[in-house]
């Protein structure tokens, strides 16, 4: 069983996993790594059902971490509860310390300093638990942004190995998978929201163009 990068370089992992479809990639992940070392995060955003459906089919015991920023659309929270019940997901919510969240709220950091707002409410809460894992799974796809287009299926991120099983799935393949498997879209997608984050910083728009409409940001910082 592969337990660290010294036993298998990123290049060889990428070569192996690139030839596999999404389900085979996830199945292979559990063969190559211990389940206890795998961390999954989901924003329960526009089409999170794709990744969640795959992991639900393969390992229902897998913990799914949801970063509760305190600023999610009510539709996102409804979608989260719906998918959790639909796929019998093991969801654990994490959030900022109350004093830090209140600081971001009282000072309206999403307007004055959106990078700090994201750090307090997204990056820092996840930093507290990342140390317990070796693999971080996320549903990023290349077509979503220029930065994401530069990624590979496996990437090094500080002390973690990041795994993007959906990375090379294009826009039409994603939507076709969702239709073929009768997966529910986020309720805001029908209202023109292609990418959905916190309600202060998200407006309708194609791809990720509706995110951080009040700043030049394109990423919250989790995946940089």
Positions marked catalytic: 220
Residues 6+ apart with CB under 8 A from 185: 46, 47, 49, 178
| Cα angle 95-100-103, degrees, rounded to a multiple of 5 | 130
Other Cβ atoms less than 10 A from the Cβ of 3: the count is 12
How many helices and strands in the chain, by DSSP H and E?
10, 6
CB 47 within 8 A of CB 144: no
Three-state secondary structure call for residue 134 = coil
Positive or negative: CA dihedral 176, 10, 45, 93: positive
Positive or negative: CA dihedral 48, 74, 201, 70: negative
């Amino acid at each position: 069983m592969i337990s660290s990068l010294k036993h298998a370089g990123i290049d060889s992992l990428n070569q192996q996993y690139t030839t596999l479809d999404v389900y085979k990639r996830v199945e292979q992940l559990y063969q190559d790594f211990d389940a206890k070392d795998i961390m999954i995060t989901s924003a329960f955003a526009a089409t999170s059902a794709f990744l969640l459906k795959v992991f639900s089919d393969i390992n229902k015991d897998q913990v799914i971490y949801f970063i509760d920023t305190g600023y999610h659309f009510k539709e996102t929270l409804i979608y989260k509860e719906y998918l959790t019940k639909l796929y019998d997901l093991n969801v654990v919510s994490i959030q900022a310390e109350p004093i830090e969240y209140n600081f971001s709220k009282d000072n309206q950091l999403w307007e004055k300093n959106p990078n700090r707002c994201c750090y307090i409410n997204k990056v820092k809460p996840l930093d507290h638990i990342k140390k317990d894992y070796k693999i971080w799974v996320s549903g990023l796809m290349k077509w979503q942004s220029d930065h994401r287009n530069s990624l590979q299926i496996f990437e090094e991120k500080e002390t973690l190995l990041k795994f993007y099983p959906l990375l090379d799935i294009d826009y039409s393949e994603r939507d076709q998978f969702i239709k073929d498997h009768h997966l529910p879209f986020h309720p805001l997608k029908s209202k023109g929201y292609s990418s959905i984050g916190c309600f202060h910083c998200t407006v309708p728009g194609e791809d990720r163009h509706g995110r951080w409409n009040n700043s030049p940001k394109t990423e919250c910082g989790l995946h940089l």
